[in-house]
Chains A and B, each alone.
Chain A
Amino acid sequence: MEPLLMIKDLTKEFGKNRVLEKVSINLNAGEILGLIGPKNAGKSILLKILAGLVKPTSGQINIFGKELSQLEKADKEKISYIPDQANLYESMTVNEIIGFSKKFYSNWDEQKCSQLLKRFELPLNFKIKTLPRAMKTQLSLVLSLASRPDLLLMDEPLEGLTIAKRKDFINLLNEEFTEKKFNLIMVSQYLEDLEKVCQRIGLLREGRLCGTLSIEQLKVKKVEKLIRVVFRRRPPAYLMEMPGVKKVERETDLCYVFTINENFTEIYESCTKVPHLSLDVDYKDCETLAVQTLPLEVTNLPEKKENTNQEPYHTADSISSGGDAGAF
């Protein structure tokens, strides 16, 4: 069966700056993929390319069996994108932006829209600029889900949400997924929440996709999580002593790496509250783990066809980076 999304050797350059390098990934129908990686790893650009906001420099992207640039309106209706920063028209009211958005979609679900508005208690007559960040994110989700997408792209949707709202957000995604099997690619730093939604997690490093981890394997192996923070000043001592922090390594003067075996979200949120320059999350030894635990395969590369003696790499659930499977 052809994958719903097939990305092959995707490269994106902004001038001389290469932000994505030969990224290849497939997504099967009904699959949910999480994406993690440090800042400027290319996660957001990858989603923006899929959403049609950024043009790829080279490579091939097929969605619903068609080349990205060849997608018709009906195909585009099935793709929905929620950016990291709310991009809604601030001068519109909630009601107005719903009215504006629904005209783009032939299969807009009015019932779903009202149901979600009620669930999030969004004020219909309030201007969007007056809403807190969490409500803007919720509104973006309403607009996305009411369009009944087959492929949902979400960039850091959980940022700025309270614990309760994040939980509700994750529950909603799971409910929606049970109701209608859609595909989701989600970028988030909230690893515990990602694990609740996703089936696989892709690791992006400096524009290269260096592997995927299956959630089942992560759970079985009890893989530890890492938080690398560059603080603005020396961090408070309580951070090092929080339950769940297994080890703290000091890489440079203000750069600390926390190894966490439980209580990740609370520790992550505590770190975000301390003034910092950068904060990245990761899994410990994930590259090695990917090599050891996942059957890594190269995606439909033409040159592989010549090698008929070799075991064919056929599963759609495959991934490659830079055309070099050994990189994992």
Chain B
Amino acid sequence: MLFKNLLWNEISQCKWLIWIGLTLIILNVFLVVFSYGLVGGVIKGVKLDIQDNFKLNCMTPDVPDEFTYYIWSQWNAKSLSQLGVIFVIFLATTQFVGENSRKNISFLLSRPVGRKLVFLSKSSAGVLVILFLFGVGAGFLWIFSELFHYQAAWSRILLSGMLSIVWLILFYLLGCLLSILTSIPLTAGLAIIGVGFVLSIPGWFEALREFSIFYQMRAITYFLKGAFPLVKTLIAVFLGGGLYYIAQNSFVKRDYA
């Protein structure tokens, strides 16, 4: 009952962010599907370009059709990992340091409720919002594809999307931790961007690429080779659990003066 009350409040407090996210995602999804028709003739070039970008020439792509490949390259590998990262920076900043700067956090924490439950409700709300936006995005992707009479391997797109979301949630939890540790929203935002930048460095080198959270977020190996990355996913879940624990403890111990 108390958790439901807190969860609903957290989601309500992110209302404007959800609306902006929805608008951007639906627009983005529409453009992705619509642009396929425009670049139909050069799709092979796009495909090669993507392979070159990811330095994946050594891989033999095992993709059912070009539309599926195109959707993945534009939606999963770009929108989810790029728009998603920007979105979670705003989400984590709004939920913790933003609420602290508006003093609402002191209202919440002076109610008879444990801080662990407050953190659980905040992080659950964040994860639900991310899943909701991904779900809506995937839904509109299917609707627009149907409208334009394109067929795609949806199960593969959805599953690679889910893998992206797992890594995105990991980045969100990192954002929550930094948002808890800082006192000014701008500082929190810059700290998350800074840490994100540092985490992206392994992605610049082919030998270290597997260690980049953003590389993993694209679910490239799964999408191109079809093999489910169980170990990597388990590592992400384990790291997520660790980050959740650290962020929760920081939240419990923090002073809200």
Contacts and interface: CB of A to CB of B under 8 A. Distances in A.
Interface of A: 14, 45, 48, 51-55, 73-74, 76-77, 79-81, 83, 85-91, 100-101, 103-105
A255 B54 CA distance: 69
Contacts of A76: 111-113
Given A14-B255, A100-B9, A89 B107 contact: yes
B59 interface: no
Given A48-B257, A54-B257, A73 B103 contact: no
Is chain A's interface secondary structure helix, strand, loop, or mixed overall? loop
Contacts of A81: 110
A102 to B, nearest CB: 10
Contacts of A77: 112
Contacts of A89: 9, 13, 104, 107
15 contacts: A48-B106, A52-B110, A55-B253, A73-B112, A76-B112, A76-B113, A80-B110, A83-B106, A85-B103, A87-B104, A87-B105, A91-B13, A100-B5, A100-B9, A104-B111
Interface in B1-60: 1-2, 5, 9, 12-13, 15
Nearest to A104: B111
Contacts, number: 67
Nearest to A88: B107
Nearest to A80: B110
Contact of A55 (B15, B111, B255): B255
Q: Which of B9, B15, B104, B106 has the most CB of A within 10 A?
A: B106
B256 interface: yes
B199 to A, nearest CB: 29
A104 B113 contact: yes
A74 B2 CA distance: 13
Interface in B106-133: 106-107, 109-114
A90 B109 CA distance: 16
A166 to B, nearest CB: 23
Nearest to A12: B255
A53 B104 CA distance: 12
Nearest to A74: B112
B102 A90 contact: yes
A103 B2 contact: yes
Interface in B71-115: 102-107, 109-114
Nearest to B252: A55
Contact of A73 (B13, B102, B113, B257): B113
A105 B114 CA distance: 13
Contacts of B13: 89, 91
Nearest to B112: A76
B255 A51 contact: no
A54 B13 CA distance: 24
Nearest to A86: B103
A14 B1 CA distance: 36
B29 to A, nearest CB: 28
Contacts of B2: 103-104
Contact of A53 (B9, B15, B110, B112): B110
A83 B103 contact: yes
Nearest to A99: B5
A101 B110 CA distance: 11
B66 to A, nearest CB: 46
Nearest to B103: A87
Contacts of A73: 112-114
Nearest to A47: B110
Contacts of B114: 73
Interface string B183-224: 000000000000000000000000000000000000000000
B106 A53 contact: yes
A262 B220 CA distance: 79
A104 B114 CA distance: 11
Interface string B239-257: 0000000000000010111
Given A53-B106, A103-B2, A104-B113, 4 more contacts: A51-B109, A52-B109, A54-B255, A88-B104
B112 A105 contact: yes
Contacts of B113: 73, 76, 104
Given A54-B256, A55-B255, A73-B112, A104 B5 contact: yes
Contacts of B256: 48, 53-54
A80 B105 CA distance: 15
A64 to B, nearest CB: 13
Contacts of B109: 51-53
Contacts of A51: 106, 109-110
B3 to A, nearest CB: 11
A56 B15 CA distance: 35
Nearest to B255: A54
Contact of A87 (B15, B107, B253): B107
A89 to B, nearest CB: 5
- The 5 lowest CB-CB distance pairs between A and B, nearest first, are A76-B112, A87-B103, A87-B107, A81-B110, A77-B112
Nearest to A106: B112
Contacts of B12: 91
A68 to B, nearest CB: 13
A148 to B, nearest CB: 12
Contact of B257 (A53, A85, A100): A53
